[in-house]
Every structure is written in C-alpha cells, then in structure tokens.
Amino acid sequence: MAGYNIVNEAAERYTGGLLPARDAVLQEMEREAEKRDIAIVGPEVARVLYQYARIIGAKRVFEMGSAIGYSTLWWARAVGEGGQVFYTDGDKKNASEARGYFERAGVAERVHIEVGDALELLSEQKQEFDIIFNDVDKEDYPRVLHLAPSRLRRGGLFITDNVLWSGRVAQANAGEASTRAIQEFNRRLYSMPEFFTTISPIRDGVAVAVKL
C-alpha cells in the first residue's frame, strides 16, 4: 500500500494518517497483501468505493478482479443486508481465502463467489448492476468497455482502479502493453456518450463514470 508518487508525498502521508483504524479482518488482509505482494486497493481508495456505494444506495455490485477480497468486503458492507456483491477471480485459492474473510466479517451471505475469467462472467449476466468495479489485468481494460454499459443501470457507476498507472499513462509513446491499454481505455471512456467520467488522482488513479 505504498504511495504511487502521483500526489505530493507529504499530503499523502497526511491523509493516510487521518484514516481510522480498520477492524481486525481488514487489518489482517492488509498485512497479508503487503507480505505477499498482493494488489489491493488499500484503505483510502476502499473508503471512496464505500462512499460512492452509499451515496447511490447501491444494492448490486459486480467486481471484476477480486484477489483475496479486500475491496469486496468493503462493497459488501456498503450494500448492507439484502445487498449482493459478485466476487470474481481466476484463482481458486484466492477465492477460498476470500470466503474465509467474508465469513469472519459476517458478510458471506452478501457475496456471490465466482471463479473464472471476470469478463466472461460479466458477459453471462442478464441483470443490471448499480456498480461495476473494474480491476482486471490492465491489458484487458479496453475489452471491459464492450460489456459494462449494457449491464449497468441508468445512474449506476462504472468504477475503474489504476487508471494513472503510477503516472506512466502520461508517456507519449508508451512501450509497455499495459500502459497503452490503460491509455486507450481512458480515451475511449471519456469519449463514450453514455457515461460522464472523471478521474481522481487518489493512490493510483480511480475513474468514476456515471451512466447517463
């Protein structure tokens, strides 16, 4: 959960220092992520996700790329009783570990766990969601744009993590495939008439697009 050097480091330390202590389950997940180099959104971004879900009264969230379920747990708490969060990950071990965290946190009944390719799993969905959260492999970001709009309700949010990619998206001639994919994703997302999009430079950049 180290900073990504996008915002002023002193300001980042300051805002990080304001964060209330997380409960034991979230703290354990944060320690495991740091120890094992597992990518999670971290508490600052997680609080933003929770806040957006509460603002729009979200009850159905589809998460694309869930790892050990850190952000999933925040979503599950945000949707409350009767809400549902779809967890997706290609690793059965991740899913099993995540299930244990959900059970300990008392939100297991709100989480529907699916193991497999997140894009394929989303393509199979017939219902509309209040929020679709995109955190898959970066090379696949442009492909998500074909799936998200039709599976999101009007007024719903399409939220994507890592859209600034440690600042590499500012490169004019990026050589890395992941960087080029995120650049393409950002350009296309901003140009889509069905969305109104903004990017917040928190941590590694979070894009929030509301479906018009």
Every domain of the chain and the residues it spans:
9-211
Order of all β-strands in the sheet with 84-89: 111-115, 84-89, 60-64, 129-134, 152-161, 206-211, 195-200
> For position 84, what pLDDT does the model report?
98
Task: Indicate the pairing of strand 129-134 with strand 152-161.
Answer: parallel
d(CA 139, CA 182): 7
pLDDT tens string 164-208:
999 999 999 888 999 999 999 999 999 999 999 999 999 999 999
Question: Tokens in use for 181?
Answer: 């994919």
Q: What residue has token string 């350009």? A: 187
For residue 4, name the pLDDT band (cuts at 50, 70, 90): low
Torsion sign (Cα): 205, 193, 129, 97? negative
pLDDT at 1: 37
How many Å apart are CA 71 and CA 60, to the nearest integer? 14
15-66 pLDDT per residue, tens = 999 999 999 999 999 999 999 999 999 999 999 999 999 999 999 999 999 9
Q: Residue 6's closest CA among 119, 115, 168?
A: 168
Q: What is the CATH number of domain 9-211?
A: 3.40.50.150
